[in-house]
Structure 1
Amino acid sequence: MSAYRERVAQDPALKAPADQARPATPARVLLPSILPALVVGVVASLLFLGVSALAEQFQHVLWRNLPDALGVGRYSVLWMLVMLTATGLAVGLVVWKVPGHAGPDPATTGLDARVLPPVVLPGLLLATALMLAGGPSLGPENPIIAVNVGLAFWLGSRFVPRMPGAMWPALAEAATIGALFGTPVAAALVISEALAGRRLKGPLWDNVFPPLAAAAAGALTTTLVAHPTFDLHLPVLGRPGWGDLLSALVIASLAALLGMCAVRAFPYVRGAFQRLGHPMLVIPAGGLVLGLLAALGGHLTLFKGLAEVGELARDPDGWSAGEFAVMTVVKLAALLVAASSGFRGGRIFPAVFVGTAFGLCAHALVSGVHPAVGVCAGVLGMLLAVTRQGWISLFTAAVLASSAAMLALLCIASLPAWLLVTGRPQMQLREDGTPVR
């Protein structure tokens, strides 16, 4: 230790002068942000829950009540083709005629939403609810974050003008992520990742404090109202062995490579749909293709995939390796088509289904692969490729099994998977159609 201190004293580059230390933010500066953060958190969660509940009720009408009244099989090939094409027509009509056109092209958006004008938000909410009810393979996260960001900025700037304008989008994003996952941990990880490399004013925790308060309020509201859980109740992994480590490394890497195939195809598939020109052609065409894919993969490959993941996890040995492989490929193709053809939605939840099916396929092929290891590693690799969000990918994969031993395996498995995806094109395009890197 004395040798180290002597080296520090002699090497100026290793010193940390007091004048270079970032001063902490006084508590009196942070305190006024708590109430706005809590309000944003509660409102963001209630909006997410309201849209989800409305879409779920409409889904029951479309996929249960209506086919039963008509005497048609709920998930017959005919009904899936009709419903997904009709969903494309409905969403296309919203994009075409509703003021604001349901926001920007979803192929150009991610979790870090831009501030949209208030006139855009109703159409975006309507398009999202129709999508969730109709069956395309997208989740609610991207549009719900965009709506909450727009509302928070518009209302916050209007009624609390003393708050910095840039604070409202940060609060809304954190609150919505907390609400989506039912815990502020996911939001804290995303915030810290977003702040990496920025020149911060004060310590990291001072910068995270207001968004974390919003995320906590959003998560708690969701937990109290809806009682969500991501734990799939997979067979418990005991003490991991070398075989489990090898399985996690291989499955996560292969899942990342499979996800990158969809990422590479993304601009080409989107370009093919865009050649149709009008949203009343582009989005219904996407719905028709989604109907054909559903006919191939079955009803489990419909919708955002969270409930369907639970159905797979309840019986990991209930399908053959071939069936799991078909569901993996079909769901990934459905995610690619839905994201390319103009449906408003996010990619995290369907990617979780793809990773789960991929991991269970590995378990079915090699009995030595523990189902929990296969699922968590598959989800990790797929999310890394599709979202390029390291912390979200690791967190989502870890909570599926709720195991401390699994977390250690996933941390190691994330390293080669990240090397396969980092620096390469993302599943998000610029306005000119070129991939974001």
Structure 2
Amino acid sequence: MVTTAPTTARRLLPLLGPAVAVGVGAALVLLGVSVVAEKLQHVLWGNLPDALGVGRYSIGWMLAVLTATGIAVGLVVWKAPGHAGPDPATTGLVDPPLGVPVLPGLLVATALALAGGVSLGPENPITAVNVALACALGKRFATPVPAEIWIMLAAAGTIGALFGTPVGAALIIGETLAARPAPGALWDKLFAPLAAAGAGSLTMVLISHPSFDINLPPFTKPGYGDILAALVISTVGAALGLVLVYAFPYAHTAFRRLRNPLLMLTAGGLTLGLLGALGGKLTLFKGLDEVKTLAAHPDAYSTGRLALLTGVKLAALLVAAACGMRGGRIFPAVFVGAALGLFAHAVVPAVPPALGVTCAVLGVLLAITRQGWLSLFTAAVLVADTAVLPILCLAMLPAWLLVTGRPQMQLNEDGTSLR
């Protein structure tokens, strides 16, 4: 029997209220954790070193703060109920809901890592928290709705809040739905997630006014040489990302040999401090603000400096993800790609900075996330020029051919790479 339009509308309309509520709640959770982390960051990297009379980003202070962050997160993971969630090396962006008792430890561990300068973003743990809360509250207070719907609403609301636009969430959820085909029109399936994403992004925009535009010089007149450059840069970015992917299980195994979470995360924090001492302030934290700093003066950095920033941030992302720090990989991967793209511009000045950055970010994200729409969208929103979109779509093709079928930056329970 064919479902009529009024019947479909009656089925979708009751989801609108829960979707908006989940989207707003997801954004408020993200905002709350971000505010706490920012305030703690100001204390750790501003008030405290000033009071002690040491340099805010001196080598000694970076070593001290990141090692202390490792100890603090290690204690939370070791002693908190549920150990702040499963091993983050085995989880993706959207996973089955965690138990509610796990969430306080996960939130504390995430805020500590964000404030302490760890090279991870908030996306994975905040999505996990929002998914768990949506499923728990929905089951208790709302009319019967399948758990899969609550998961999708929470994921969409969080992604919409992270990017400040529902477009990214719609693309990512659409990609997820394509991997799990089911009867029905695509936009019927996207109706409630898009409402959640719109509510989450609008809440974020009204409160904090986020922007991903890094204000690179405009790219308005693409030429034939730009197409060749885009193909090469995106492929190099993907290859660099695959280096990280292939190294991931080995780094994870090395840290797991320490067995105790406190030891693993302390060792990870110390290693991150050493990398920060090598790369400097720009290689700390999740990376989005640092990308904007880097892009403010694209010609101010030597090729050697940009190569160092790229390598150190890549290593910092590897260590942070492998040692058990709670956080996501999208934002630090964006920094890696931005530094690589500016390196390409420094080596070949004819390569426009906007083209180099977006294509390198695209390639790195494809290798690390293995999500095409997410990678394309994230690269595109870094610049305000629509002229780069056709070239990005072409640049995506060789990069995808390189990464498809390869191991992912996610591990099975036995420590082997997920494929």
Shorter-chain TM-score tier: over 0.9
Match of 1:14 in 2: none
Cα deviation 1:253-298 (Å, max 9, x = unaligned): 0010011001000000000000000011000000000011111111
Percent pairwise identity? 66
Could you tell me which amino acid in structure 2 is paired with residue 164 of structure 1?
P
Amino acid at match of 2:33: V
CA drift at 1:198: 2.7
CA–CA distance in 2 between the matches of 1:141 and 1:401?
21
CA distance in structure 2 between the partners assigned to 1:221 and 1:343 by the alignment: 28
Measured after TM superposition, the shift of residue 197 of structure 1 is 4.0
1:308-319 equivalence runs, <5 A: 308-319=290-301
Q: Distance in 2 between matches of 1:51 and 1:251?
A: 35
Paired residue type of 1:271: T
In the TM superposition, structure 1's runs of 4+ consecutive aligned residues that sit over 3 Å from their partners are: 21-25
CA RMSD of the aligned region, Å? Answer: 1.1
1:119-153 deviation digits (Å, cap 9, x = unpaired):
00010000000000001100000000000000000
- Give unmatched runs, 5+ long, in structure 2: none
Question: Which residue number corresponds to residue 22 of structure 2?
Answer: 40
How is 1:245-394 mapped onto 2 (pairs within 5 angstroms)?
245-394=227-376
Equivalence for 2:11: 29
**1:132 aligned residue:** 114
- 1:22 deviates by 7.9
Q: Is contact 1:23-1:202 (8 Å) kept? A: no
1:313-359, Cα deviation, whole Å (9 max, x unpaired) = 10001110110000000000000000000000000000000000000
Provide the C-alpha distance between the structure 2 equivalents of 1:127 and 1:192, rounded to a whole number of angstroms.
31
Please point out which of 114, 117, 140 is paired with 2:96: 114
- Tell whether 2:210 aligns with 1:228: yes
| 1:161 positional shift | 3.5
1:409 aligned onto 2:409: no
C-alpha distance 415-23 of structure 1, shift in aligned 2 (>3 A): farther
For 1:55, give the aligned amino acid: A
Residue 78 (str. 1) matches residue 53 (str. 2): no
Q: Determine whether 1:60 maps to 2:35.
A: no
2:304 alignment partner AA: G
- Equivalents in 2 of 1:69, 1:198: separation in Å? 55
Q: Is the 8 A contact 1:388 1:426 kept in 2?
A: yes
- In structure 2, the residue matched to 1:212 is 194
Partners of 1:391 and 1:243 in 2: how far apart? 25
Match of residue 157 from structure 1: 139
TM-score using structure 1 length: 0.94
Match of residue 72, structure 2, among 90, 99, 122: 90
Q: How many residues align?
A: 418
The structure with the larger Rg is 1
Unaligned runs of 5+ in 1: 1-18
**Paired residues of 1:273 and 1:341 also in contact (CA < 8 A):** yes
Matched, 1:123 2:70: no
* Counterpart secondary structure, 2:387: helix
- 1:23 CA displacement: 6.7
Say which of 87, 107, 120 aligns to 1:105: 87
Q: Secondary structure at the match of 1:101?
A: helix
Residues 139-195 of structure 1: CA distance to partner in whole angstroms, max 9, x if unpaired?
000000000000000000100142222211110000000000000000000011001
* CA-to-aligned-CA distance 1:358-407 (integer Å, 9 cap, x gap): 00001011111100001001100010011111101000100111211101
Distance 2:311 2:63 in 1: 19
CA offset at residue 243 of structure 1?
1.2
Instruction: Indicate if the aligned counterparts of 1:22 and 1:203 stay in contact, CA closer than 8 A.
Output: no
**SS at 2:82's partner residue?**
coil
Query: What residue is the counterpart of 1:419 in the other structure?
Result: 401
Distance 1:299 1:32, change over 3 A: same
Instruction: Report 1:190-209 matches (<5 A).
Output: 190-209=172-191
